Structure 1
Amino acid sequence: MTMLTSTDHRGPVTGAERALAPDLIRGGMLLLIGLANAANFAFAGQPGLNGSPHGLERILNFLKLTLVDARAYPVFAVMFGYGLVQLARRQRAAGTTATGVRRILLKRNAWLAVFGLVHATLLYFGDFLGAYGLVGIVCTLVLLNRGDRFHRIVLWIWGAQVVYVLVVAASAVRATVSSSGPAYVMTNSPNPSLAATSYTDSLVARLQEYPTHTAYVLGFVVIVWLGIWAARKQLLENPQAHQTLLTRVAVVGMSVTVLGGLPQALVAAGWLHVDEAAFDKMVFLHNVSGQYGGPGYIALFALLVIRINKRSLPVQAISALGQRSLSGYLFQSVSWLVLLAPFTLNLGDRLGHTAFTAAGVAVLVWTISVVAAYQLKKHSYRGPAETLLRKLTY
Structure 2
Amino acid sequence: MTTTLSTQAPDHRGPVTGRERALAPDLIRGAMLLLIGLANGANFAFAGQPGLESAPHGVERVLNFLKLTFVDARAYPVFAVMFGYGLVQLARRQRSAGATAGAVRRILLKRNAWLIAFGLVHATLLYFGDFLGAYGIVGIICTLFLLNRGAKFHRLVFVVWAIMVVETVAIGARAVLAVMNSSGPAHPLTNEPNPSLAATSYFASIVDRLQEYPLHMATVLGVVVIVWLGIWAARKQLLENPAAHRTLLTRAAVICLGITFAGGVPLALVGAGWMHVDENAIGTLNLLSHTSGMFGGPGYVALFGLLITRIRRQSLPVRAISALGQRSLSGYLFQSVAWMALLAPFTLDLRLGSTAYTAALVAIGVWIVSVAGAYAMSLRSYRGPAETLLRRLVY
1:379 corresponds in structure 2 to 380
* Structure-1 separation of matches of 2:239 and 2:9: 30
Contact persistence 1:42–1:353 (CA under 8 A): no
Q: Deviations over 1:126-165 (max 9, x none)?
A: 0000000000000000000000000000011111111110
* Structure-2 separation of matches of 1:260 and 1:117: 32
Where does the alignment leave 5 or more consecutive residues of structure 1 unmatched?
none
SS in 2 for 1:240: helix
Aligned amino acid, residue 297 of structure 1: Y
Contact persistence 2:324–2:375 (CA under 8 A): yes
* Structure-1 separation of matches of 2:25 and 2:91: 16
* Structure-2 separation of matches of 1:8 and 1:341: 47
Q: Measured at CA, do residues 353 and 41 of structure 1 come closer, stay the same or move farther in structure 2, by a change above 3 Å?
A: farther
Match of 1:338 among 324, 327, 341: 341
Match of 1:217 among 200, 204, 220: 220
Q: Deviations over 1:149-205 (max 9, x none)?
A: 000000111111111100100000001011111001111100000000000000000
* Structure-1 separation of matches of 2:40 and 2:265: 20
Q: Measured at CA, do residues 277 and 117 of structure 1 come closer, stay the same or move farther in structure 2, by a change above 3 Å?
A: same
2:22 corresponds in structure 1 to 19
Contact persistence 2:12–2:100 (CA under 8 A): no
Does residue 49 (structure 1) correspond to residue 45 (structure 2)? The answer is no
SS in 1 for 2:387: helix
Does residue 303 (structure 1) correspond to residue 306 (structure 2)? The answer is yes
* Structure-2 separation of matches of 1:372 and 1:269: 35
Match of 1:329 among 321, 328, 332: 332
* Structure-2 separation of matches of 1:11 and 1:308: 30
* Structure-2 separation of matches of 1:109 and 1:16: 24
Contact persistence 1:65–1:262 (CA under 8 A): yes
Does residue 391 (structure 1) correspond to residue 381 (structure 2)? The answer is no
Q: Deviations over 1:219-276 (max 9, x none)?
A: 1100000000000000000101100000000001100000000110000000000011
* Structure-2 separation of matches of 1:323 and 1:212: 30
Matches for 1:246-325 after TM superposition, within 5 Å: 246-325=249-328
1:363 corresponds in structure 2 to 364
Matches for 1:1-394 after TM superposition, within 5 Å: 7-348=10-351, 351-394=352-395
* Structure-1 separation of matches of 2:12 and 2:315: 33
Shift of 1:98: 0.1
Aligned amino acid, residue 58 of structure 1: R
Aligned amino acid, residue 362 of structure 1: A
Aligned amino acid, residue 339 of structure 2: W
Shift of 1:15: 2.5
SS in 2 for 1:347: coil
Where does the alignment leave 5 or more consecutive residues of structure 2 unmatched?
1-7
Aligned amino acid, residue 191 of structure 1: N
* Structure-2 separation of matches of 1:145 and 1:83: 15
* Structure-2 separation of matches of 1:84 and 1:17: 15
Q: Measured at CA, do residues 321 and 6 of structure 1 come closer, stay the same or move farther in structure 2, by a change above 3 Å?
A: farther
Shift of 1:355: 1.1
* Structure-1 separation of matches of 2:353 and 2:223: 35
Q: Deviations over 1:11-39 (max 9, x none)?
A: 33222221110000000000000000000
* Structure-2 separation of matches of 1:301 and 1:6: 40
Shift of 1:353: 4.5
Q: How many residues align?
A: 389
- RMSD over equivalenced CA pairs, Å: 1.0
* Structure-2 separation of matches of 1:357 and 1:119: 24
Contact persistence 1:71–1:292 (CA under 8 A): yes
Name the % identity: 72
